[in-house]
Amino acid sequence: MVTIPMALRAEAREAGRQTVRVETRARLVRAVLAFLDGNGVRLSDEERARLSSCTDDALVESWLFKAPFVSSASELLEED
């Protein structure tokens, strides 16, 4: 039986968590885009890129909660 050093296991576990965070954030961004599209809110390429490249989990979550209620991309992206 092969034993894996504790440090290596911890590193692998953290890499797995990071992967889950990135994948979850991408799903949330897709949900935001779906809400906007469903409500007829059109995005410029720059706005779409801003949403898609965001790495701030809290910001993406705030967009998710706001997306069903906005009528423009600028309204979604404005800072509170």
pLDDT digits (tens, 9 = 90+) for 45-72: 999 999 999 999 999 999 999 999 999 9
pLDDT of residue 1: 74
pLDDT of residue 80: 52
Tokens representing 42? Answer: 């059109």
At 47, which amino acid appears? E
Query: What is the pTM assigned to this prediction?
Result: 0.81
Residue at 3 is within a domain: no
Are the C-beta atoms of residues 60 and 54 closer than 8 Å to each other? yes
Residue at 79 is within a domain: yes
Residue at 19 is within a domain: no
Q: How confident is the model at residue 20 (pLDDT cuts 50, 70, 90)?
A: confident
Residue at 65 is within a domain: yes
Sheet strands (E) in 1-80: none
Residue at 24 is within a domain: no
Higher pLDDT, 11 or 80: 11
Using DSSP, state whether 26 is helix, strand or coil: helix
User: Can you give the residue range of the structural domain that contains 49?
Assistant: 41-80
Number of domains in the chain: 1
Higher pLDDT, 78 or 36: 36
pLDDT at residue 3 is higher than 90:
no
